[in-house]
Amino acid sequence: MGSRCFSYLKYLVMKQKCFCLLLIFTVYSLVDPVFFRILEGLVPMEKCHLPKGFKLKPGNHADNYLDYWARTDVQTCTKWNAPIIWDGTFNAVAYDEMYKKQNIVIGLTVFAVGNYLDMFLERFLLSADEHFMPGFRVIYYVFVDDLAKLRRISVRLSDRGMLREVAVERQRRWQDNSMSRMKLIKELIETRVKNEADYIFCFDVDQHFSGRFGTEALGDSVALLHAWFYRRPRFLYTYETNPLSTAYVQSRGDFYYHAAVFGGTWQSVRRLTEACHRGILQDKQRKVEARWHDESHLNKYFWLHKPTKILSPEYCWDPAIGWRTDIRIFRLQWVKKQYGASRQVV
């Protein structure tokens, strides 16, 4: 009886210690965001459930040779069997050889209006020319409100890429510039992309390529894990919470996706942009606006229509997060945000 009471008292003491430690960590994390990010990097991710030898697609597709178990420190597949692409899981040569036989063309869309054109576009395009789909034909569809400035940049691009100018008007609010791209991309696909490219990727301009962003990223419907959320528990995802918005998610979801990068076949991207644009229009009619604008609508779409391939945060990393053991390479990096200057309307 005495030993049982002693064991119970010991259990209570240990429980109180654990609670106190948790409380200390929580308070310190709120005071010091860097400490919180370090702790966040230690949160374990789910493991891939697929058996070794699993074939994702029929035939000899390069996706069938993904090594999901080469990275046990991260999640490399989803519960609906979509691969999550991390450094060390794929054979870049195998992907390039397969797609060269298909003689594919990849499109890239980017918007640069107002100060975004002056501050970010040149570095974005020149780095894309070096690192985006190396060895393949690329068409850059660049939406700008000043064609003369774009032409001064375009002369510095290599012959590998073709540039298509798309003139747009700058909206009064930066939020409207962001949300209007879904409509404009949809229209571009219907009028031009479907006749010129097999795949299309859509990017924000305030970032730059710093490593291979290659054919391993191609798929029917491709989403990107948000660098700030990929290790956070689902209850911290910032999905739309207003039931009046069409972007409202009645679930903890699967992942939180970043709208800075999405892509796939032109057919798939057309469906995505059409659905997001339709949701934005319905929200305007209801006089509501989703918290994170087009990104909220994109997350709703991918919750309903699961992506067939997901890119890890190495495909769009924010250096402000700091060092993470699981990020072995930076393929695309955020540029330091200067919202006061970049979003200024003149």
- Give the model confidence (pLDDT) of 85-143 as tens digits: 999 999 999 999 999 999 999 999 999 998 899 999 999 999 999 999 999 999 999 99
Distance in angstroms (rounded) separating the CA atoms of residues 142 and 133: 17
Is there a contact between 260 and 201 (Cβ–Cβ < 8 Å)? Answer: no
- Greater model confidence, 309 or 4: 309
3-state secondary structure of 243: coil
Average pLDDT of the residues of the chain: 87
Residue 302 reports pLDDT greater than 90 = yes
Catalytic residue among 122, 216, 240, 295: 295
Q: What is the pLDDT of residue 73?
A: 95
Please tell me the predicted confidence (pLDDT) of residue 26: 52
Tokens of 45: 């991710």
User: 8-12, 79-83, 269-273, 341-345: which has the minimum mean pLDDT?
Assistant: 8-12
240 is catalytic: no
Confidence band (pLDDT; 50, 70, 90) for 37? low
What is the spatial distance between Cα 129 and Cα 110, in angstroms, rounded to a whole number? 13
Pairing, β 261-265 against β 221-224? antiparallel
Q: Are 139 and 164 in contact (CB under 8 A)?
A: yes
pLDDT value at 200 more than 60: yes
- Judged against a pLDDT cut of 60, whether residue 178 lies above it is answered with no
Q: What's the pLDDT at 310?
A: 98
Q: Which residue has the higher pLDDT, 235 or 269?
A: 269
The average pLDDT across 194-223 equals 98
Q: Is the pLDDT of residue 312 over 70?
A: yes
Instruction: Pick the more confident residue, 179 or 43.
Output: 43
Residue 317 and residue 299: Cα distance in Å, rounded?
19
Phi-psi region of 336 (alpha: psi -120 to 50; beta: other; left: phi over 0): beta
- pLDDT digits 0-9 by tens, 4-33: 544 444 433 344 544 444 444 454 445 556
Q: Is the pLDDT of residue 346 over 70?
A: no
pLDDT of residue 19: 46
Q: Which pLDDT belongs to residue 74?
A: 97
pLDDT (average), residues 210-234: 96
Please tell me the predicted confidence (pLDDT) of residue 211: 98
In this prediction, residues 33-59 reach a mean pLDDT of 79
pTM for this model (two decimals): 0.86
- Round the CA-based radius of gyration of the chain to a whole number and report it: 22
Q: Which of 19-33, 96-110, 220-234, 275-289 has the lowest mean pLDDT?
A: 19-33
Instruction: Give the tokens for residue 142.
Output: 């660049």
Q: Tell me the average pLDDT across 152-159.
A: 90
Q: Which residue has the higher pLDDT, 28 or 320?
A: 320
- Measured CA to CA in angstroms, residue 185 lies from 16, 20, 266, 339 at distances of 56, 52, 10, 24
Output 122-127 pairs: Cβ under 8 A, ≥24 positions apart.
Answer: 122/153, 122/156, 123/208, 123/335, 124/203, 124/205, 124/206, 124/207, 124/208, 124/209, 125/153, 125/154, 125/157, 126/153, 126/156, 126/157, 127/208, 127/209, 127/210
pLDDT at 330: 97
Q: Is the pLDDT of residue 2 over 60?
A: no
Nearest by Cα to 293 from 181, 169, 202, 200: 181
Burial of residue 164, with CB atoms counted within 10 A of its CB: 0-12 exposed, 13-18 middle, 19 or more buried? middle
Percent of the chain surpassing pLDDT 90:
70
CA distance 225 to 256: 6
pLDDT at residue 59 in the model: 79
What percentage of the chain reaches a pLDDT higher than 70?
Answer: 84
pLDDT of residue 340: 52
